A = this chain, B = another copy of it.
Amino acid sequence: MYSGAQISLYPLSDGFVDIILGAVHSLDPYRDRLRIETDDLSTLFVGPPELVMDASRDLFVAAARSGVHCTQSALYSRGCPGETDDPICLGGVLDGPMPPLEERRARGLAAIQAAPETGQPVAAQFAYYPLGGGQHMDEIYGVIDFLKDAGTFDGAKNFCTRLRGDAGKVFATLGQAFIGFAPPGAHVTLDVTFSANSPSQTG
């Protein structure tokens, strides 16, 4: 199994370099469990999917605490057949057998409820792609149905779904959508844009 993400953090400020460099310190607690590599377009995280999600949350929240309008573009991927298995990705929730849908749904909602709040409100929109199967719209509708009870659902848009709430809850929702649906070995990707402190948003 191979799982990870490509994350691009964008503070909309003349001081973007300092905000990014400051936020990167939030990744220090993850460096022994994730492989982290940066180039001019994005930062790669490789490791268990739930840790990848947590690290991307901490990075974005750290930048958003500057008060500046920050956005983040994220591509999460698991099970890509084009990547070779990597031991750093093991030890996560996808290693075990897959319980029935109803149990996964209940477990997912419980995980969102248990997720700690960060005090940072965020908005997000994302597209969920279960690849390679013939039933991809069934999986997509299954996830959308789950999301409606997550407490962070903020409506459907063309091609994607909106979430809103405390960053702790929004990232937990995405984490459950990412790992809780489609089989453990399936190729699943999630494309997300996050926004905080937007002047266009009054809520």
Residues of A whose CB lies within 8 Å of any CB of B are 4-6, 8, 10-14, 16-17, 39-42, 44, 46, 69, 71, 73, 75, 77, 80-83, 123-125, 127, 129, 131-134, 136-137, 140, 157-160, 162, 187, 189, 191, 193, 195, 198-201
Contact = CB atoms under 8 A, between A and B. Distances in A.
B6 A159 contact: yes
Nearest to A194: B41
Contacts of A46: 158
B80 A159 contact: yes
B133 A41 contact: no
Contact of A132 (B4, B124, B136): B136
Copies of this protein in the complex: 2
A153 to B, nearest CB: 15
Nearest to A158: B44
A63 to B, nearest CB: 12
Nearest to A2: B158
A11 B12 contact: yes
Nearest to A13: B14
- Chain A to chain B: the 10 pairs with minimum beta-carbon distance, closest first: A40-B200, A12-B16, A73-B73, A191-B191, A40-B201, A77-B159, A10-B10, A14-B14, A132-B136, A41-B125
